[in-house]
Structure 1
Amino acid sequence: MDVSAPAVSYVRERLGSSLFSRVAGPAGRDTRARIHETPGPRWFAPDRPIRTVHGDASMFIGGLRALLLQSLHPLAMAAVAAHSGYRGDPWGRLQRTSTFLAVTTYGTAQDAQEAVDRVRAVHERVRGTTAAGESYHAADPHLLAWVHIAEVDSFLCAHQLYGARPLDADGCDAYIADMSRVAAALGVSDPPRTQAELAERLRAYRPELRATQEAREAARYILLRPPLPLIARAPYAALAANAVSTLPPWAREPLRLPRLPGFERTCVRLSGHALTRTIRWAMAPPPRAAGPRPADS
């Protein structure tokens, strides 16, 4: 059947706009213009790997993986459950996170520093005690480091599997080094700068990790009860399945996430590639536009 170019363009525009509004919020287009068009020095040059990774559709999978992995630290999960409002305002939290990533990756150095300062001010106020009686403080460098390495590992893992331009070994190290600059600005002490350092840091945290009731509830909410319209549930389920499939067994078992290796290597992986290609197609800028994709911000 012949499909007209206007019809394809219409579908592409509607799908891209819907995805962008979910990720960036109602002011997303203005925010994107400010981030990319404001003149001034940046933290990262246009050819840096952090721009390649954060501008790719694989971030949809990497972001879900990061949330699941981060939940395994009981202090981090307690802080999220008590202070983040992820149930009451999940899209707002996503939009704030995506804007922070966009500003620090693509924005001016001044805007990036201001974004970091705002996050650090929030972290200073987030304190409490877990159900087990353990105290936490979101500004604790040790806790910040866990959140950071879980993100870096997840974003890079997803990009290497589903990204349009996977990095070579040197590029992977360079991405981790790029992210270490943001982490240090946020208060992380001596963040990892290579794949070897990242793997060692993950191993060092494993004795502290466990799945609390809050973590399992968060996983069920993220994977099974997302606040989405019915039409979006099937593609989201495929993204979620791909996020789960990339987690190591030591992270999946405490969260009671099923493991089906054969099915995951075939059907799940194929669905992940198909979805990221579709997102990449829908959110690509029009031919006259320059710079990173709308997914960046």
Structure 2
Amino acid sequence: MFGPGSQFHALFNDPRWALAMIRATVLEAAHPQIGAALLDNSTFVAHPWRRLRNTFTSMQRVFGADDDVRQREAARLNRLHARLRGTDPHDRPYDAMDPGVRAWVVATLFESAVTMRRLSGQPLQPTATARLYAECQAFLALMGDEAGHLPHTLDAFWPYYDRTVAEELENTEAMRIILYRLFDHLPAPPLLTDFPALWATGRSVVGPVIGAITVASLPEPFRRRAGLPEIAGVPTLMQGAYLAAGLARFLPDQWIQAEGITELLTLSPGSDDPRARTVAALRDQVKRAGALIRLITPLPPEPEPSAEDGTVGDGARRSAREFFAEVLDQTGDGYLDWPDLAAMARELSGRLDLDEPEETRLYNAYADWWRELQTALDTDGDGRVSAHEYAAAAPSLAGPALIRVAEVLFDATDSNGNGRIDADEHRALFRTAFHRDTTTTDSEGTYTRSEFITTFLTFMSGRHRTTPYDPILAES
């Protein structure tokens, strides 16, 4: 049911799968429990490209050939889901470990894959559909969920799906964000951050089109009940988009390899990957051309940095408000609270592929830091820290709890326990080799414990941009 011969594995490099994944995510977010969990805990608003890469990496692990990797990933996902529980704005509880909710997530992936093939004029054959459904059931079994939450047979699935769409799905805020606001404010991937005008222009055209196509592909009963607009001509546009994406499969394999495309979109400009250097060289050429244009037609000067925001006039530093928005507010809701720091712990744990108890130690260290921040910064007592509260205090964050976070992160990164971070351990965390500006004090050219902690604290309290932590915690 898993590995290179599976139906799901074949979807990875199918260009149509991108459209199907957006559709499935909308249907997931329309479920009240999933929508609330996404809104409270997910980084899909503030860091969509990171979320894209992490989701794809997780699917690769589950549907890859290595069973040990698959079992480890299932255990990691269960630990992640166990931490996601709370209540929605209507005081209804949500729990990411609810087996019925997890069955719905898998159901949306299955149904969207079937719909993707139908809309592109290549419907799945009955045997392939049955095999895909069996793989969905196998995935839930891998996660440890009891059978029956997803119907046992394919014939029973469609009444279950129709009933859930008609009775349980809602026009949730998370669903509206994905459909309408996510693309409106989607930040540029790391390699395009130097071209905000170009990115904004393309996004303003593509975003509404993708949103309209997604709406047109949703089940009609849900569209009516949720009050989603029906625009003349969009069903034809949707059909054309799926057909065009299907034709892309005839392109050379290296052009449509999902892993390569995902890595390129999420590649940090400072990476030592040869592709990053190539794109950086191209970006420099475009910058020079842009500078020449500005000389010919000068633009109005940009305003000077404001002292109120904590800007010190050094391009290597962030203002307090920038630091809050880019680093601390991981969920993008305008506030700092526990889900933001939990998202940091989740990202670092995922990069290092931590098992218990190392993962729990890192989460506990972040929880202690959150309590320290809450005590120092939550002046109005509402249980969270606003951007104004943070910028007004502009504190030095290097308290005992943050130092403990740095120590625990060092221990987790130092996988062989020799008290130093070598090149392989550095790459596991930062996904890049040592940079020339990395200071080392030992003869072996490794990262010492004190240097690692100092760099982390400098990033978190000094708000410096030029550290390896930017691609992990600040970039989208």
Give the TM-score category using the shorter length: 0.7 to 0.9
Contact persistence 1:59–1:159 (CA under 8 A): no
Cα distance change on mapping 1:166 and 1:49 into 2, 3 Å: farther
Cα distance in 1 for residues equivalent to 2:50 and 2:226: 25
Contact persistence 1:65–1:246 (CA under 8 A): yes
Cα distance in 2 for residues equivalent to 1:226 and 1:158: 24
- Report deviation, 1:168: 0.4
- Report deviation, 1:238: 4.1
Question: For residue 259 of structure 1, what is the aligned residue in structure 2?
Answer: 230
1:170 aligns with 2:127: yes
- Report deviation, 1:152: 1.6
Question: For residue 186 of structure 1, what is the aligned residue in structure 2?
Answer: 143
Cα distance change on mapping 1:188 and 1:253 into 2, 3 Å: farther
Cα distance in 2 for residues equivalent to 1:171 and 1:143: 25
Cα distance in 1 for residues equivalent to 2:246 and 2:207: 11
Question: For residue 199 of structure 1, what is the aligned residue in structure 2?
Answer: 158
Question: For residue 285 of structure 1, what is the aligned residue in structure 2?
Answer: 254
- Report deviation, 1:224: 4.2
Cα distance in 2 for residues equivalent to 1:253 and 1:265: 15
Gaps spanning 5+ residues in structure 1: where?
1-42, 287-292
- List structure 1 runs of 4+ shifted beyond 6 angstroms: none
Q: Kindly indicate whether structure 1 or structure 2 has the higher relative contact order, using CA contacts under 8 Å at least 6 residues apart.
A: 1
User: Which runs of structure 2 are paired with 1:132-143 in the superposition (5 Å)?
Assistant: 132-143=90-101
Cα distance in 1 for residues equivalent to 2:252 and 2:88: 41
Cα distance in 1 for residues equivalent to 2:86 and 2:130: 35
Cα distance in 2 for residues equivalent to 1:81 and 1:159: 30
1:295 aligns with 2:253: no
Cα distance in 2 for residues equivalent to 1:70 and 1:283: 33
- Report deviation, 1:259: 1.9
Q: Residue 221 of structure 1: which of 181, 186, 201 is its match?
A: 181
Structure (1 or 2) with the greater helix fraction: 1
Cα distance change on mapping 1:283 and 1:244 into 2, 3 Å: farther
Cα distance in 2 for residues equivalent to 1:124 and 1:254: 32
Cα distance in 2 for residues equivalent to 1:56 and 1:161: 14
- Report deviation, 1:82: 0.4
Contact persistence 1:71–1:215 (CA under 8 A): yes
Q: Secondary structure at the match of 1:44?
A: coil
Question: For residue 211 of structure 1, what is the aligned residue in structure 2?
Answer: 171
Question: For residue 395 of structure 2, what is the aligned residue in structure 1?
Answer: none
Cα deviation 1:81-128 (Å, max 9, x = unaligned): 101121121111111111111222224111111111111100001110
Cα distance change on mapping 1:187 and 1:209 into 2, 3 Å: farther
Cα distance change on mapping 1:281 and 1:255 into 2, 3 Å: farther
Cα deviation 1:23-42 (Å, max 9, x = unaligned): xxxxxxxxxxxxxxxxxxxx
1:246 aligns with 2:204: no
TM-score, normalised by the number of residues in structure 2: 0.47
- Structure of higher CA gyration radius: 2
Q: Secondary structure at the match of 1:136?
A: strand
Cα distance change on mapping 1:273 and 1:231 into 2, 3 Å: farther
1:154 aligns with 2:124: no
Cα deviation 1:239-295 (Å, max 9, x = unaligned): 4433322211122234443224x62343331133224534x4567238xxxxxx621
Matched length? 246
Cα distance in 2 for residues equivalent to 1:186 and 1:145: 11
Gaps spanning 5+ residues in structure 2: where?
189-198, 263-476
Cα distance change on mapping 1:197 and 1:56 into 2, 3 Å: farther
1:64 aligns with 2:35: no
Percent identity for Structure 1 against Structure 2: 24
- Report deviation, 1:181: 1.0
Cα distance in 2 for residues equivalent to 1:193 and 1:102: 26
Q: Which moved more, 1:211-220 or 1:122-131?
A: 211-220
Cα distance in 2 for residues equivalent to 1:224 and 1:255: 21
Cα distance change on mapping 1:142 and 1:244 into 2, 3 Å: same
Q: Residue 82 of structure 2: which of 102, 124, 135 is its match?
A: 124
- Report deviation, 1:51: 2.5
Q: Secondary structure at the match of 1:87?
A: coil
Cα distance in 2 for residues equivalent to 1:204 and 1:254: 13
